[in-house]
Amino acid sequence: MSAPGDRGARRPVAVVFDVNETLFALDHVGDAFEAIGLPGSALDLWFARTLSDGFALAATADFATFSDLGLYHLGRITRSFGLEHDEATLEQVLGAFEELDAHQDVAPALQRLKEAGTRIATLTNGSADITRTLLRRHGLEGLVERCFAAAEAGAWKPRAEPYRFAAQELRLAPADCAMVAVHSWDVHGAKRAGLTAAWVSRLEGRPVPPMHDADITARSLNEAIDGLLALPPAT
Protein backbone atom coordinates (compact mmCIF):
# COMPACT_ATOMS: atom_id res chain seq x y z
CA MET A 1 0.00 0.00 0.00
CA SER A 2 1.26 3.47 -0.78
CA ALA A 3 0.24 6.53 1.22
CA PRO A 4 -0.22 10.12 0.12
CA GLY A 5 2.71 11.79 1.82
CA ASP A 6 1.91 15.48 2.27
CA ARG A 7 -0.86 15.90 -0.31
CA GLY A 8 -3.22 17.28 2.30
CA ALA A 9 -5.65 14.37 2.39
CA ARG A 10 -7.37 13.86 5.72
CA ARG A 11 -9.18 11.04 7.41
CA PRO A 12 -12.68 10.91 5.87
CA VAL A 13 -15.90 11.29 7.79
CA ALA A 14 -17.61 9.18 5.11
CA VAL A 15 -16.30 6.65 2.61
CA VAL A 16 -18.18 6.28 -0.68
CA PHE A 17 -17.67 3.07 -2.66
CA ASP A 18 -18.03 2.46 -6.35
CA VAL A 19 -20.20 -0.62 -6.91
CA ASN A 20 -19.57 -2.60 -10.12
CA GLU A 21 -16.19 -4.35 -10.00
CA THR A 22 -15.19 -2.52 -6.81
CA LEU A 23 -17.63 -4.20 -4.42
CA PHE A 24 -19.19 -6.82 -6.70
CA ALA A 25 -17.66 -9.03 -9.40
CA LEU A 26 -19.33 -9.23 -12.81
CA ASP A 27 -18.83 -12.99 -13.25
CA HIS A 28 -22.57 -13.76 -13.20
CA VAL A 29 -23.15 -11.29 -16.02
CA GLY A 30 -20.49 -13.09 -18.04
CA ASP A 31 -22.29 -16.37 -17.36
CA ALA A 32 -25.54 -14.83 -18.59
CA PHE A 33 -23.78 -13.68 -21.78
CA GLU A 34 -22.55 -17.22 -22.42
CA ALA A 35 -26.05 -18.61 -21.79
CA ILE A 36 -27.34 -16.76 -24.88
CA GLY A 37 -24.43 -17.81 -27.07
CA LEU A 38 -21.95 -14.97 -26.55
CA PRO A 39 -18.33 -15.65 -25.63
CA GLY A 40 -17.34 -14.68 -22.11
CA SER A 41 -14.94 -12.11 -23.57
CA ALA A 42 -17.92 -10.15 -24.90
CA LEU A 43 -18.59 -8.88 -21.37
CA ASP A 44 -15.52 -6.63 -21.38
CA LEU A 45 -16.42 -5.28 -24.82
CA TRP A 46 -20.02 -4.62 -23.77
CA PHE A 47 -19.01 -2.92 -20.52
CA ALA A 48 -16.42 -0.73 -22.26
CA ARG A 49 -18.88 0.37 -24.96
CA THR A 50 -21.59 1.11 -22.43
CA LEU A 51 -19.23 3.19 -20.31
CA SER A 52 -17.79 4.93 -23.37
CA ASP A 53 -21.17 6.22 -24.50
CA GLY A 54 -22.12 7.19 -20.96
CA PHE A 55 -18.89 9.16 -20.65
CA ALA A 56 -19.43 10.81 -24.05
CA LEU A 57 -22.88 11.98 -23.00
CA ALA A 58 -21.49 13.22 -19.69
CA ALA A 59 -18.80 15.19 -21.54
CA THR A 60 -21.51 17.11 -23.39
CA ALA A 61 -23.68 17.54 -20.27
CA ASP A 62 -26.23 15.02 -21.56
CA PHE A 63 -27.50 11.86 -19.89
CA ALA A 64 -28.83 8.37 -20.53
CA THR A 65 -29.33 5.60 -18.02
CA PHE A 66 -26.87 2.74 -17.69
CA SER A 67 -29.69 0.28 -18.37
CA ASP A 68 -30.74 1.97 -21.62
CA LEU A 69 -27.19 2.15 -22.95
CA GLY A 70 -26.44 -1.35 -21.73
CA LEU A 71 -29.50 -2.80 -23.45
CA TYR A 72 -28.63 -1.07 -26.72
CA HIS A 73 -25.04 -2.31 -26.72
CA LEU A 74 -26.02 -5.83 -25.73
CA GLY A 75 -28.33 -5.99 -28.74
CA ARG A 76 -25.61 -4.60 -30.98
CA ILE A 77 -23.03 -7.12 -29.78
CA THR A 78 -25.37 -10.11 -30.07
CA ARG A 79 -26.15 -9.16 -33.67
CA SER A 80 -22.43 -8.81 -34.43
CA PHE A 81 -22.06 -12.47 -33.41
CA GLY A 82 -24.92 -13.49 -35.69
CA LEU A 83 -27.38 -13.93 -32.82
CA GLU A 84 -30.94 -12.66 -32.66
CA HIS A 85 -32.62 -12.23 -29.29
CA ASP A 86 -35.72 -10.28 -28.36
CA GLU A 87 -35.58 -7.40 -25.92
CA ALA A 88 -37.08 -9.47 -23.09
CA THR A 89 -34.22 -11.96 -23.37
CA LEU A 90 -31.63 -9.18 -23.33
CA GLU A 91 -33.27 -7.60 -20.29
CA GLN A 92 -33.15 -10.97 -18.56
CA VAL A 93 -29.41 -11.17 -19.26
CA LEU A 94 -28.84 -7.76 -17.70
CA GLY A 95 -30.94 -8.90 -14.75
CA ALA A 96 -27.84 -10.85 -13.72
CA PHE A 97 -26.59 -7.58 -12.23
CA GLU A 98 -28.94 -8.31 -9.32
CA GLU A 99 -27.12 -11.60 -8.63
CA LEU A 100 -23.51 -10.42 -8.43
CA ASP A 101 -21.18 -11.89 -5.83
CA ALA A 102 -19.37 -9.61 -3.41
CA HIS A 103 -15.59 -9.70 -3.38
CA GLN A 104 -14.26 -11.48 -0.31
CA ASP A 105 -12.82 -8.32 1.22
CA VAL A 106 -16.06 -6.32 1.08
CA ALA A 107 -17.68 -7.42 4.35
CA PRO A 108 -14.54 -7.03 6.51
CA ALA A 109 -13.73 -3.66 4.96
CA LEU A 110 -17.23 -2.30 5.59
CA GLN A 111 -17.25 -3.72 9.11
CA ARG A 112 -13.90 -2.08 9.85
CA LEU A 113 -15.23 1.30 8.79
CA LYS A 114 -18.40 0.83 10.81
CA GLU A 115 -16.41 -0.02 13.92
CA ALA A 116 -14.26 3.06 13.36
CA GLY A 117 -17.36 5.27 13.30
CA THR A 118 -16.93 6.15 9.62
CA ARG A 119 -20.08 6.64 7.58
CA ILE A 120 -20.48 4.45 4.49
CA ALA A 121 -22.25 5.08 1.17
CA THR A 122 -22.15 3.83 -2.41
CA LEU A 123 -22.18 5.70 -5.71
CA THR A 124 -22.80 3.97 -9.03
CA ASN A 125 -23.39 4.90 -12.64
CA GLY A 126 -25.97 2.12 -12.55
CA SER A 127 -29.01 1.60 -10.35
CA ALA A 128 -29.17 2.44 -6.66
CA ASP A 129 -32.04 -0.05 -6.32
CA ILE A 130 -29.84 -2.84 -7.67
CA THR A 131 -27.11 -1.79 -5.25
CA ARG A 132 -29.58 -2.11 -2.37
CA THR A 133 -30.65 -5.52 -3.66
CA LEU A 134 -27.04 -6.71 -3.72
CA LEU A 135 -26.32 -5.38 -0.25
CA ARG A 136 -29.40 -7.15 1.13
CA ARG A 137 -28.47 -10.35 -0.70
CA HIS A 138 -25.11 -10.40 1.05
CA GLY A 139 -26.33 -9.19 4.45
CA LEU A 140 -24.49 -5.88 4.15
CA GLU A 141 -27.39 -3.43 4.11
CA GLY A 142 -26.99 -2.59 7.80
CA LEU A 143 -23.46 -1.33 7.18
CA VAL A 144 -24.29 1.16 4.42
CA GLU A 145 -26.05 4.42 5.19
CA ARG A 146 -26.97 5.57 1.67
CA CYS A 147 -26.91 4.23 -1.89
CA PHE A 148 -26.57 6.90 -4.57
CA ALA A 149 -26.88 6.72 -8.34
CA ALA A 150 -25.31 9.14 -10.79
CA ALA A 151 -28.78 9.58 -12.32
CA GLU A 152 -29.78 11.55 -9.23
CA ALA A 153 -27.16 14.13 -10.17
CA GLY A 154 -28.08 14.05 -13.86
CA ALA A 155 -24.57 13.11 -14.97
CA TRP A 156 -22.33 10.05 -15.01
CA LYS A 157 -19.18 9.74 -13.04
CA PRO A 158 -16.44 10.91 -13.58
CA ARG A 159 -18.09 14.33 -13.89
CA ALA A 160 -17.93 16.22 -10.62
CA GLU A 161 -21.69 16.40 -10.10
CA PRO A 162 -22.30 12.84 -8.80
CA TYR A 163 -19.48 13.00 -6.26
CA ARG A 164 -20.55 16.40 -5.00
CA PHE A 165 -24.18 15.28 -4.94
CA ALA A 166 -23.26 12.36 -2.68
CA ALA A 167 -21.31 14.66 -0.36
CA GLN A 168 -24.18 17.16 -0.26
CA GLU A 169 -26.72 14.44 0.53
CA LEU A 170 -24.47 13.26 3.37
CA ARG A 171 -24.31 16.91 4.54
CA LEU A 172 -20.54 16.91 4.25
CA ALA A 173 -17.94 18.88 2.36
CA PRO A 174 -16.34 16.91 -0.49
CA ALA A 175 -13.01 17.03 1.38
CA ASP A 176 -14.64 15.11 4.25
CA CYS A 177 -15.50 12.22 1.90
CA ALA A 178 -13.32 9.57 0.31
CA MET A 179 -14.07 7.60 -2.84
CA VAL A 180 -12.90 4.00 -3.13
CA ALA A 181 -12.76 2.46 -6.61
CA VAL A 182 -10.88 0.02 -8.82
CA HIS A 183 -11.14 2.34 -11.84
CA SER A 184 -8.57 5.08 -12.43
CA TRP A 185 -11.21 7.24 -14.11
CA ASP A 186 -13.36 7.09 -10.97
CA VAL A 187 -10.46 8.13 -8.76
CA HIS A 188 -9.65 10.93 -11.20
CA GLY A 189 -13.22 12.22 -11.11
CA ALA A 190 -13.40 12.07 -7.33
CA LYS A 191 -10.14 13.97 -6.94
CA ARG A 192 -11.27 16.64 -9.40
CA ALA A 193 -14.48 16.99 -7.38
CA GLY A 194 -12.52 17.61 -4.18
CA LEU A 195 -12.75 14.20 -2.51
CA THR A 196 -9.97 12.08 -1.10
CA ALA A 197 -9.59 8.89 -3.15
CA ALA A 198 -8.32 5.34 -2.69
CA TRP A 199 -7.54 3.19 -5.72
CA VAL A 200 -7.55 -0.61 -5.46
CA SER A 201 -5.28 -2.25 -8.03
CA ARG A 202 -6.93 -5.65 -8.46
CA LEU A 203 -8.66 -4.74 -11.74
CA GLU A 204 -6.21 -2.53 -13.63
CA GLY A 205 -2.90 -3.52 -12.06
CA ARG A 206 -1.44 -0.06 -12.65
CA PRO A 207 -3.14 3.34 -12.58
CA VAL A 208 -3.60 5.26 -15.81
CA PRO A 209 -0.67 7.75 -15.72
CA PRO A 210 -2.33 10.97 -17.01
CA MET A 211 -5.07 10.78 -14.39
CA HIS A 212 -5.02 12.16 -10.86
CA ASP A 213 -3.00 10.11 -8.42
CA ALA A 214 -4.98 8.43 -5.68
CA ASP A 215 -4.29 9.49 -2.11
CA ILE A 216 -4.14 5.80 -1.21
CA THR A 217 -3.05 3.00 -3.53
CA ALA A 218 -3.89 -0.48 -2.27
CA ARG A 219 -4.10 -4.10 -3.38
CA SER A 220 -7.39 -4.77 -1.57
CA LEU A 221 -10.30 -2.98 0.04
CA ASN A 222 -8.87 -3.85 3.45
CA GLU A 223 -5.59 -2.12 2.58
CA ALA A 224 -7.50 0.86 1.21
CA ILE A 225 -9.46 1.22 4.44
CA ASP A 226 -6.30 0.86 6.52
CA GLY A 227 -4.78 3.69 4.53
CA LEU A 228 -7.80 5.97 4.80
CA LEU A 229 -8.15 5.44 8.54
CA ALA A 230 -4.45 6.19 9.00
CA LEU A 231 -4.79 9.65 7.43
CA PRO A 232 -4.55 12.59 9.84
CA PRO A 233 -7.89 13.88 11.14
CA ALA A 234 -9.18 17.26 10.08
CA THR A 235 -7.92 20.07 12.28
Domain membership flag for residue 235: no
Calculate the dihedral angle through the C-alpha atoms of 89, 92, 97, 101, rounding to the nearest 10 degrees.
-110
Quote the pLDDT of residue 5. 40
Distance CA 154, CA 151 (A): 5
Of the candidates 178, 199, 188, the one whose C-alpha atom is nearest the C-alpha of residue 157 is 188
209 and 153: one domain? yes
85 and 50: one domain? yes
pLDDT (tens digit, 9 = 90+) per residue, 104-131?
A: 999 999 999 999 999 999 999 999 999 9
For the chain, percent of residues with pLDDT exceeding 70 = 97
Interval 45-60 mean pLDDT: 97
Quote the pLDDT of residue 7. 58
pLDDT (tens digit, 9 = 90+) per residue, 126-185?
A: 999 999 999 999 999 999 999 999 999 999 999 999 999 999 999 999 999 999 999 999
What is the number of domains present in the chain? 2
> Which residues constitute the domain of residue 121?
14-25+100-229
Domain membership flag for residue 2: no
Q: Cβ atoms within 10 A of the Cβ of 60, count?
A: 7
Distance CA 198, CA 228 (A): 8
Could you give the 3-state DSSP secondary structure of residue 122? strand
Q: In what order do the strands lie in the sheet with 177-181?
A: 146-149, 119-124, 14-17, 177-181, 196-200, 216-218
